[in-house]
Structure 1
Amino acid sequence: MTTLIDAPPNEQDGLLPPKKSRSGGGLGAYIVVRFFLIFPTIFILVTLVFFLMRITGDPITAALGDRLPPEALAARIHEAGYDRPVIVQYFEYLGQIATGNFGRTISDNLLVTDMLASYGTATLELAINSLVVALLVGIPLGMVAARHRDKWPDAVLRFFAILCYATPVFFAGLLLKLVFSVALGWLPVAGRANSADEIALTSLVSPTGIYWLDAIRSGNMAALGDVMAHAVLPAVALGLLTGGVFLRLVRTNVIGTLSKDYVEAGRSRGVSEFRLVTKHAYKPALIPIITVMGLQIALLLGGAVLTETTFEWKGLGFQLAHYLTARDFVAVQGIVVLLAVIVALTNFIVDIVAALIDPRVRY
């Protein structure tokens, strides 16, 4: 028989500290930790990009070495400070980018920040359009594949997902151009808009640089139709790459959710399979999609280089290819650093959204 003295102390008596939750720290601590992890990530990427660019020598010689006489070349190198030790240049560069100064491009003498602002919105527009295509393709088709598991629709859609992911973006873009632009003549071959609409949209008061948004703001429906027609093929070419990933992910997670006890209970009560998929298994399957979306943004930005070059979509990817050809490593460095910052911030936002949706995501 256990006496009062022998009884173990409990939390209500105040003799033991309260047990910590197994989920770890709270949401606030999670957000703070994730936010401060952005800075070492960006620092490491900036450091790698800087020293990789310097392996080939100073940027002036790389870009203009075969076009300037030795005296003029040496003067340009000294003026830019590239004749100093690399470690001194590195710390000076860190100080510059901390104040938002990325220097000037060598090939066309533009402020790198102005170039990033001018062409960054085009890449952002392409990424948004492609992400919409990926979600429209991946989520519904993934649910269909899960609904018809191990049947012929599932086999066809799984093959389609592999095909989307395995096909190079530039090859998909060329095929789309040949079919829908050259053969059928339904859609424009390249560019973001016709020249007249492009001039009208860029001349607006405080334009955003995202053409379809500027067309809506100005009420110019003709320009909006033209912009959307130009956006279809690049968005599909790049969006299918990520759409294949989403399709497989949704299929796997919906199948896993359909085997849960509460779904089996609904099935035993006579709930239709369509309702089980669309109502009970759909929302839990979206949590992994949101988590993976940050990684897919990086994939979209990487694919934007080939997509923009294929469709002459004048964004950061198009300019990156141009500056690589010109060996303008100052401009290349600025573009790569900006893309790294975008990826880091996107992953931070995705982590916070995932933590808000799923309370199990904590430190």
Structure 2
Amino acid sequence: MSQDNSGDDAGQDRYGKTVADVPDGSAVRQKEEKGKRRRLSSGFFRFIIVRFLLIIPTIFILVTLVFFVMRATGDPISAALGGRLPPAELRKRIHAAGYDRPLIVQYFDYLGGLLHGDLGRTLTDNQPVTSILTHYGAATFELAFLALIVALLVGIPLGKLAARHRDRVGDAAIRVFAILCYATPVFFLGLLFKLIFSVKFDILPSSGRCSLASEMQFDRLVSPTGFYIIDALQLGDAGVLADVLEHAILPALALGLLTAGVFIRLVRTNVISTFNSPYVEAARSRGVSESRLLSKHAWKPALIPIITVMGMQIAMMLAGAVLTETTFEWKGLGFMLSTYLKSRDFVAVQGIVILIAIIVSVVNFIVDVISALIDPRVRY
């Protein structure tokens, strides 16, 4: 007579496992979510490492191009001092600097110096290029930062306003303004600002980073940063700070409006694109107001391409700083670059270009990381 084993088998499945050994649905979901987060984290860090490593070949290629292009017309000493020295003295200086050696030997020596932080010495005033970069770099960074603030304060609100009033009079006026900002040469805009605000109305200074009295005040600082706004805050003198800001208004406006024109068109295009997406239409059908649709639903997805392009615009801003600083006699890297170009000091020009290339590469890396944090699709 067979025994009834139904009671013994009640707690087992068809594979012989007890029911208690089979995980429930919530445990499986938690395990899958942990695995997904682990994959996203590993993908994000892999993305960061790859983007960071790409900086090295980018800078290496640019350094190589700059080195050989600069020497395409001959050695730097002949280019800078040729015709102003007797031939014997010129040959002596060329030999002392090592520019009579094979070009490939000079190239590897230059790379070796770069690895040790040595960018050489300027030919016109015999200063270390690194001291030129540290002394004048702060002025360029300060101008670029202020111009970026102008670009964001003007470009983003006007772009959102144009998208909200699409194909109306306000939208058309803002688009014309954006085209004028982008198409007007920065040196022409700077000269126009100087004629209006400095010559005609005499309400803003036309050149320099500050007045002579403020520069004398900065000499009192034990450890100046080179950033005049920060140095003015260190002094605790409101008059010096106001003087520095007054000198910065026109250069920052001239350079910032150039980038603001790009931001206006970019913000408008992307916000309109997200306005037409299905999830925004669904929110609109539920009675969500247009202002809330713009600020809550359409704005964040439109940020991704804006942040991506922002890195390229910062690079353009550094390029535009050459003309802006020359126009307003703002003594930064752009001003010194034009000065050394005129004197054909290739060593100084080479060092400034390399520093700008490093800055642009690092900024683009930071922008890539921010884009990956906002949009996980960028990581793959």
The TM tier, using the shorter chain, reads: over 0.9
Shift of 1:305: 0.3
Q: Secondary structure at the match of 1:241?
A: helix
Mapped partners of 2:220, 2:341: distance in 1: 30
Could you give the per-residue CA deviations for residues 152-201 of structure 1, whole angstroms, max 9, x where no partner exists?
11111111111111110000100111111111111101000001112322
Matched letter for residue 193 of structure 1 = C
**2:124 pairs with 1:107:** yes
Pick aligned residue for 2:327 from 305, 310, 316: 310
Offset at 1:202?
A: 4.5
Match of 1:235 in 2: 252
Contact 1:169 1:306 in 2 (8 A): yes
Map 1:275-290; keep pairs closer than 5 Å: 275-290=292-307
Give how far 1:25 is off.
Answer: 6.3
User: Are residues 1:247 and 2:264 paired?
Assistant: yes
1:120 equivalent in structure 2: 137
Q: Which amino acid aligns with 2:315?
A: A
- CA deviation string 1:101-145 (max 9, x = no partner): 011100011110001100000000000000000000110000000
TM-score where L is the length of structure 2: 0.88
Deviation at 1:259, TM superposition (A): 1.5
- In structure 2, the partner of 1:138 is 155
Cα deviation code 1:9-47 (max 9, x no counterpart): xxx9xxxxx99x998961000000001000000000000
Higher helix share: 2
Deviation, 1:356, is 1.1
Identity of aligned residues (%): 67
The reply on whether 1:75 has 2:97 as its aligned counterpart is no
Q: State the alpha-carbon separation in 1 of the partners of residues 165 and 359 from structure 2.
A: 38
Matched, 1:159 2:176: yes
Partner of 2:340: 323
Give a deviation string over 1:295-335, Cα, whole Å, max 9, x none. 01110000000000000000000000000111111111111
Structure 1 gaps, min length 5: 5-11, 13-17
> Gaps spanning 5+ residues in structure 2: where?
1-13, 15-27, 29-34
CA contact (8 A) 1:25 1:362 kept: no
TM-score after normalising by structure 1: 0.92
- Greater mean alpha carbon deviation, residues 257-266 or residues 165-174: 257-266
- Deviation for aligned residue 1:205: 2.2
Counterpart CA distance in 2 for 1:272 and 1:214 is 47
The code of the aligned residue for 2:306 comes to I
TM-superposed CA distance for 1:267, in Å, is 1.7
Equivalent positions of 1:139-288 (< 5 A) are 139-288=156-305
* Letter paired with 1:285: A
- The number of residue pairs the alignment matches comes to 348
Counterpart in 1 of 2:60?
A: 43
* Residues 73 and 234 of structure 1, relative CA distance in 2, 3 Å threshold: same
Greater gyration radius: 2
The match for 1:296 among 307, 313, 327 is: 313
Q: CA RMSD in A?
A: 1.9
Shift of 1:287: 1.8
Structure 2 counterpart of 1:339, from 356, 363, 372: 356
